[in-house]
C-alpha cells in the first residue's frame, strides 16, 4: 500500500520530468512499472486500448483522506463517499465496497442501481442530481433509505409530493466556487449563474416548500468545482463560510456535505494537494458543532489509479510537428479535450537516448482530438505502445461511441 510519505516524496522535485513517479508507478531499469506489473506485459496481455486500474492505489488514496481527517480531529463524525461518476467499473465498485473505506455519491438512478448491485446499501449512498424526470423519481423512490439531496425548488416539491414527512438534504449554491486554478470550465458556482443548487435568494422559498410538505432538512450539500490543489484552499475556506449561512437557517441539520473537488497534479508544477492543511481547514469549521461531515471525492480516489494503454499507429512529421498517432481518441478519455487537462504520455521503455517533443493525437476526425502537445518522449520509432497517466477518472465513465470508435477494455489490478 502507498503511504502519504511515499506520495509526497515522489513529488518533491517539481522540476523533474519524472515528477509523477511514486513507488507504484515508476521506471525500473528503464521499463515502466505500474501496480507491481511491467506495463509492457500489461499491454501485451490486455490489448489496446485498455484502461488498467489499481485497486491498491484507489484504496491508498482513500486511506490518505481518512488519515488526514482523523489527524485533524474528526473521529466517527464523518463519511467518505466515493463519487462513482468518476469511474463506475463494477469490479472497482465491488472492491471499494469490500474495503469498507467509503460509501457512494451517485448522480443518476442508474448509478444508484449499480452501486446497490455492487453491494452498497442505500443508506451508504448520497444522491445529488438535477433535472430529474418523473421516471427518475419513480426509481429513486424504491430506495427508501437513500440520502436524497434536492438541488432545486422543483426537486423539493416533487420529493415532497412523493414522500411527505420524510427527511431530505438540500444542495445549495454559495455563489463562490473552488476549482483547479484558472480553469473556469471546472467551476460549478461563481460569478456566472449555474444550474447547481439553490441560491441564498431562493432559500426562504425552499424552507417554506419543505415546511409545506412536512420535510425535515437534515443535510446541506454543495459541490462548487473540481481539481482544487493547495493554493486554492483559501477559496475552499470561503465556500464553506458561505455555506454555513445555509446551515444556520435550518434547525435540524445533521450533516454538511462539502462535495468533491480534491485535485491531483497534471503538470510538474502542480504539486500534490496538502491533505493535512485541507483537513485542518475543515475541522476548524466543524469543531464544537453537532455536525457530521460528508466528503465525496471522485478524481482524488481514481484519477491517478488508472492508465490508458494505447498502441502507436504512426509517427510522422507534419509541418514543424512530430505527431504520434494512437489507436483511441478523445472520445474515450475526454478530459484533455473538454477541460484542457493534459494526460501525460509515457514511453513504456525509456531507453537511454535524448527526448524530443512529440504531439500525441487520437484516431477521431475532430480537431480537438489531441491528447498532449509537445510531450517530451524518447525516440518512439520502434515503440509499439504508449500509455497515458491520470486516466483512471472521468475517462471510461465519460466515453462515447463517436465515429463508432467507442470500444475499449477495462481491467482491475488487485
Q: Which residues bind ligand PLP (CB under 6 A)?
A: 83, 85-86, 105, 128, 223, 226, 259-262, 296-300
Give whichever of 85 and 219 is closer to ligand PLP, judged by the CB atom.
Answer: 85
> Residue 242 to residues 85, 199, 236, 239, 245: CA-CA distances in angstroms?
26, 11, 10, 5, 6
CB of 285 to ligand PLP, least distance (A): 18
CB of 190 to ligand PLP, least distance (A): 14
CB of 88 to ligand PLP, least distance (A): 12
Give whichever of 2 and 224 is closer to ligand PLP, judged by the CB atom.
Answer: 224
How many CB atoms are closer than 10 A to CB 116? 18
> Residue 212 to residues 140, 205, 232: CA-CA distances in angstroms?
21, 10, 39
Backbone angles phi, psi at 29, to 5 degrees: 50, 45
Using Cβ positions, the residue closest to ligand PLP within the complex turns out to be 260
Give whichever of 260 and 329 is closer to ligand PLP, judged by the CB atom.
Answer: 260
Collect contacts of 401-405 with beta carbons under 8 A, ≥24 apart. 401/331, 402/329, 402/331, 402/364, 402/366, 403/329, 403/331, 403/363, 403/364, 403/365, 405/328, 405/329, 405/331, 405/332, 405/363, 405/364
Q: Nine-digit cell at 183?
A: 480553469
Give whichever of 86 and 364 is closer to ligand PLP, judged by the CB atom.
Answer: 86
Give whichever of 43 and 258 is closer to ligand PLP, judged by the CB atom.
Answer: 258
Give whichever of 293 and 347 is closer to ligand PLP, judged by the CB atom.
Answer: 293
CB of 300 to ligand PLP, least distance (A): 6
Q: Which helix (H) or strand (E) holds 386?
A: strand 385-388
- The closest of 298, 320, 278 to 394, measured between CA atoms, is 298
Radius of gyration of the chain (CA): 22
**Got the DSSP string for 267-287?**
STTT----HHHHHHHHHHHHT
Q: Nine-digit cell at 251?
A: 434547525
Give whichever of 270 and 299 is closer to ligand PLP, judged by the CB atom.
Answer: 299
Give whichever of 64 and 405 is closer to ligand PLP, judged by the CB atom.
Answer: 64
Q: Which one-letter DSSP state was computed for residue 134?
A: H
CB of 59 to ligand PLP, least distance (A): 16
Q: Which three-class secondary structure state does DSSP give residue 190?
A: coil
Beta strands (DSSP E) in 72-155 are 78-83, 103-106, 125-128, 147-150
Helices 55-72 and 90-99: crossing angle, nearest 10°? 40
- Residue 214 CA, chain-centre distance (Å), reads 35
CB of 323 to ligand PLP, least distance (A): 31
How many CB atoms are closer than 10 A to CB 276? 15
Give whichever of 128 and 272 is closer to ligand PLP, judged by the CB atom.
Answer: 128
CB of 149 to ligand PLP, least distance (A): 8
Q: Apex CA 335: angle with CA 329 and CA 338, to 5°?
A: 90
* Count of CA atoms in the C-beta half-sphere (13 A) of 52: 25
CB of 104 to ligand PLP, least distance (A): 11
CB of 196 to ligand PLP, least distance (A): 8
Give whichever of 20 and 188 is closer to ligand PLP, judged by the CB atom.
Answer: 188
CB of 226 to ligand PLP, least distance (A): 3
Amino acid at each position: 500500500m502507498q503511504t502519504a510519505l511515499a506520495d509526497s516524496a515522489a513529488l518533491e522535485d517539481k522540476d523533474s520530468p519524472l515528477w509523477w513517479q511514486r513507488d507504484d508507478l515508476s521506471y525500473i531499469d528503464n521499463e515502466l512499472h505500474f501496480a507491481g506489473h511491467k506495463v509492457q506485459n500489461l499491454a501485451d496481455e490486455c490489448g489496446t486500448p485498455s484502461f488498467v486500474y489499481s485497486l491498491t492505489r484507489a484504496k491508498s488514496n482513500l486511506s490518505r483522506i481518512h488519515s488526514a481527517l482523523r489527524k485533524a480531529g474528526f473521529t466517527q463524525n464523518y463519511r467518505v463517499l466515493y463519487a462513482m461518476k468518476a469511474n463506475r467499473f463494477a469490479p472497482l465498485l465491488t472492491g471499494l465496497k469490500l474495503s469498507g473505506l467509503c460509501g457512494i455519491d451517485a448522480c443518476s438512478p442508474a448509478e444508484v442501481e449499480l452501486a446497490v448491485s455492487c453491494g452498497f446499501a442505500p443508506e451508504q449512498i448520497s444522491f445529488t442530481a438535477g433535472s430529474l424526470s418523473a421516471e427518475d423519481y419513480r426509481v429513486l423512490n424504491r430506495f427508501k433509505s437513500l440520502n436524497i439531496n434536492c438541488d432545486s425548488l422543483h426537486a423539493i416539491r416533487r420529493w415532497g409530493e412523493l414522500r411527505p414527512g420524510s427527511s431530505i438534504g438540500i444542495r445549495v449554491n454559495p455563489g463562490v466556487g473552488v476549482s483547479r486554478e484558472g480553469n473556469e470550465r471546472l467551476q460549478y458556482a461563481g460569478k456566472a449563474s449555474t444550474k447547481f443548487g439553490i441560491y441564498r435568494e431562493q432559500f426562504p422559498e425552499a424552507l417554506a416548500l419543505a415546511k409545506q410538505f412536512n420535510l425535515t432538512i437534515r443535510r446541506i450539500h454543495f459541490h462548487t468545482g473540481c481539481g482544487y490543489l493547495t493554493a486554492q484552499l483559501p477559496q475552499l475556506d470561503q465556500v464553506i463560510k458561505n455555506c454555513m449561512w445555509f446551515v444556520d437557517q435550518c434547525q435540524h441539520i445533521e450533516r454538511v456535505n462539502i462535495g468533491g473537488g480534491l485535485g491531483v497534479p497534471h503538470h510538474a508544477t502542480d504539486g500534490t494537494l496538502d491533505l493535512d492543511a485541507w483537513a485542518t481547514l475543515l475541522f476548524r469549521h466543524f469543531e464544537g458543532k453537532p455536525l457530521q461531515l460528508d466528503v465525496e471525492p471522485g478524481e482524488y480516489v481514481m484519477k491517478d489509479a488508472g492508465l490508458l494503454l494505447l498502441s502507436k499507429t504512426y509517427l510522422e512529421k507534419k509541418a514543424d510537428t512530430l505527431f504520434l498517432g494512437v489507436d483511441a481518441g478523445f472520445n474515450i478519455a475526454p478530459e484533455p479535450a473538454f477541460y484542457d487537462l493534459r494526460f501525460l504520455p509515457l514511453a513504456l521503455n525509456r531507453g537511454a537516448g535524448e527526448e524530443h517533443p512529440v504531439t500525441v493525437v487520437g484516431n477521431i476526425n475532430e480537431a480537438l482530438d489531441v491528447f498532449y502537445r509537445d510531450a517530451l518522449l524518447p525516440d518512439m520509432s520502434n515503440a509499439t505502445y504508449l500509455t497515458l497517466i491520470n486516466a483512471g477518472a472521468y475517462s471510461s465513465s465519460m466515453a462515447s461511441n463517436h465515429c463508432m470508435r467507442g470500444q475499449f477494455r477495462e481491467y482491475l489490478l488487485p
